[in-house]
Amino acid sequence: MMFGMTGAGKSALGNLLAGFEAFASGDDTASVTNLDSVMRYEAPDDSMIVLDTIGLGDTEIDQDKVVGSIRDVALSAVNGVDAMIFVMRNARITDDAIARLIYVTEYLWGSECLLNLYVVVTFGSKYLANRQEANLWVERQVELNWRFKHIYELVGQNPNRFLFIDNPGTDSGEPNVKQRQAASRRAIMMALAQHPRDVIPPFTHEAMQKAKKMVEEQHEVLEKATTKYNELQQARNGGKEVKKRRKSKPRTSLRRNTPQSQAIMSALEEKKKAQQSLQEALIKVKCDADFQRAVEIEAQQATWRFGQDFNTDSLSDRKDGTGSATSLGSNGNPVQACKRMFFSLVNKMGMKGKPPPKPSAKAAGGPKAKASKKKLNAEDIQKALDLAVVQLKSSVRGQQPQAVFKQLDVKQNGTVTPLEFAHFIQKTVQGV
């Protein structure tokens, strides 16, 4: 699922992933399902689904677009999202872009989505060709740019979560367009193939779960039909998976009207009928009053939380994922951008007034009451531990053991002390 500001290159990235001009800007195509707030492309072989959250990228966002995005993402990805891709240009990062990123990841979808978050940097030809140079660039940006540092912290301080592409348009007149696009597609596909699905499950939220439950029967029928079709295909190919072939003359064995080929065609028809039945059920869900109300409440709660947290004059009291005061306001101040975005949302929410201000000690006529701490039970602690382990594994995946040990062995004496390991965990795992 792609998201980002208008002009960042989401449509071009979608076309790159699809392998052709599927996401034609401002145009409906047969290969893309154009919902109100999401454009959806599904590969013919079911290997990949690409979502472009067009509603969340508009410069002037409003609450209706947020509701539409939650609804359409839920209907387009009832099984969840494997990879969330924030698309940004290799250029100056604006306060408005950071405000949008904060709202989408930390409030709208929630921190659970961060394990599935990747950043695709467009117009990054220099760093596409050299991963080591790309990692050095990421390190420099973290040191120099507080906005970039915030993005870096959202992806668990993992430079491998930054993907670079060089994707000029076919009509740009630039040299070697096809070769550059092919290299970019290989880099993206390699990263997606290496995404640790065995460790990090697809991201889901309440609306997705509700939609899935409402179409559970149709979804089960489709899964059975798909499994039956795939098994017949593999049996015909001697147990091997069907691979894409270049255009060539059709083999005579495939053209014979054998019982096996008839069974495959019948299974394919069953699969198509099941897909159609699922789409019809999803249309009914979209019109369901209870589902619509649940989505509206989810969007309103996210917006009010966002407004309450940024309804201050500075960000000095806001905590980041590590529990320490965030440095967003050190060399710049996106709070005004967050406020602008909040009031843009709330003005069209259909509610009057601003979010309730945070109570102060002076207004209460006494010392500020301490917030009651929630008592954690064993199950809560275990969930937190499991999440920490997942983040830790994700942060070091793809690195050589020697490279990881160098990060741990600060004093270069061949040992790792408990304190050094604790510091490593605090830097690697958000919230510890």
Instruction: Report the percent of the chain where pLDDT is more than 90.
Output: 36
Give the separation between CA 230 and CA 241, rounded to whole angstroms. 9
What percent of the chain stands above pLDDT 70? 78
Contact between residue 43 and residue 189 where contact means Cβ atoms under 8 Å apart: no
> What pLDDT sits at residue 347?
65
Nearest to 10 by CA among 46, 60, 63, 51: 51
Q: Which of 115-129, 354-368, 394-408 has the lowest mean pLDDT?
A: 354-368
Bridging pattern class, strands 117-122 and 84-89: parallel
Nearest to 3 by CA among 96, 104, 99: 104
Q: How confident is the model at residue 322 (pLDDT cuts 50, 70, 90)?
A: very low
Could you give phi then psi for residue 403, rounded to 5 degrees? -70, -40
Beta strands in 165-224 (DSSP E): none
Long-range contacts of 281-286 (CB under 8 A, 24+ apart): 281/214, 281/215, 281/217, 281/218, 282/75, 282/78, 282/211, 282/215, 285/75, 285/211, 285/214, 285/215, 286/71, 286/75
- Calculate the CA dihedral of residues 249, 254, 257, 263 and round it to 10 degrees: -140
Taking the C-alpha atoms of residue 76 and residue 37, their distance in angstroms, rounded to an integer, is 11
Out of 275-284, 285-294, 388-397, least confident range = 388-397
CA 183 centroid distance within chain: 22
Work out the pLDDT band at 292, boundaries 50, 70, 90.
very high
The whole-number average pLDDT for the span 205-216 is 94
Of 153, 179, 148, 147, whose CA–CA distance to 166 is shortest? 179
Within 48-145, where are the H helices? 63-76, 95-102, 125-128, 131-144
Distance CA 76, CA 84 (A): 14
With 0-12 / 13-18 / 19 or more C-beta atoms within 10 angstroms meaning exposed / middle / buried, residue 344 is middle
pLDDT reading at 137 higher than 90: yes
For 225-272, the three-class secondary structure string (H helix, E strand, C coil) is: HHHHHHHHHHHHCCCCCCCCCCCCCCCHHHHCCCHHHHHHHHHHHHHH
Element (H, E) at 181: helix 177-193
SS3 383: helix
* Choice among 2-16, 261-275, 324-338, 340-354 with the minimum mean pLDDT: 324-338
Helix (H) or strand (E) holding 89: strand 84-89
Instruction: Report how far residue 375's alpha carbon sits from residue 389's, in angstroms, rounded to the nearest whole number.
Output: 22
For residue 341, what pLDDT band results from cuts at 50, 70 and 90? confident
**CA 14 from chain center: how many Å?**
14
Identify the top-confidence range among 134-143, 168-177, 407-416. 134-143
Q: How confident is the model at residue 352 (pLDDT cuts 50, 70, 90)?
A: very low
What's the rounded Cα separation, in Å, for the pair 9 and 49? 18
What's the per-residue H, E or C state across 318-356? CECCCCCECCCCCCCCCHHHHHHHHHHHHCCCCCCCCCC
**How confident is the prediction for the chain on average, in pLDDT?**
80
Rounded Cα–Cα distance for residues 162 and 139 (Å):
11
**Mean pLDDT calculated for residue range 50-63:** 80
pLDDT higher than 80, residue 27: no
Q: Quickly count: other Cβ atoms within 10 Å of residue 190's Cβ.
A: 10
Which pair of structure tokens corresponds to residue 263? 């069974």
> Which of the residue ranges 37-41, 74-78, 271-275, 427-431 would you say has the lowest mean pLDDT?
427-431
The confidence band for 367, taking pLDDT boundaries of 50, 70 and 90, is very low
- Residue type for 320, please? D
d(CA 321, CA 278) in angstroms, rounded, equals 39
**Predicted local confidence at residue 256, as pLDDT:** 58
pLDDT at residue 331 in the model: 43
Q: d(Cα 280, Cα 80) in Å, to the nearest integer?
A: 19
